[in-house]
């Protein structure tokens, strides 16, 4: 997968997820909103956790280069 770095500053606040009528609704910053099936939400959640851990490790490695 190709990595693209955006010139826009990353959001500092997270989204809020709710369950409505068997769907997962995610309301994010700047009016971002998405609805997902429970399965898609679970897959997204796992992917976000993995990516968040990787990004935190990258930041840590940049702060403490060998």
Whole-angstrom distance, CA of residue 63 vs CA of residue 3: 21
pLDDT for the residue numbered 8: 82
What predicted TM-score, i.e. pTM, was given to this entire model? 0.76
CB 48 within 8 A of CB 35: no
> In this predicted model, which residue has the larger pLDDT, 43 or 60?
43
Specify the 3-state DSSP secondary structure of 56. helix
Return the domain boundaries, the chain. Answer: 16-63
Q: What is the pLDDT of residues 14-34, one digit of tens each?
A: 999 999 999 999 999 889 999
pLDDT for the residue numbered 63: 81
């Amino acid at each position: 997968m190709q990595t693209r770095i955006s010139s826009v500053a990353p959001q500092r606040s997270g989204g809020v997820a709710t369950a409505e009528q068997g769907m997962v609704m995610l309301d994010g910053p700047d009016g971002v909103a998405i609805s997902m099936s429970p399965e898609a939400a679970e897959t997204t959640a796992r992917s976000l956790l993995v990516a968040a851990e990787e990004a935190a490790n990258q930041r840590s490695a940049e702060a403490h280069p060998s």
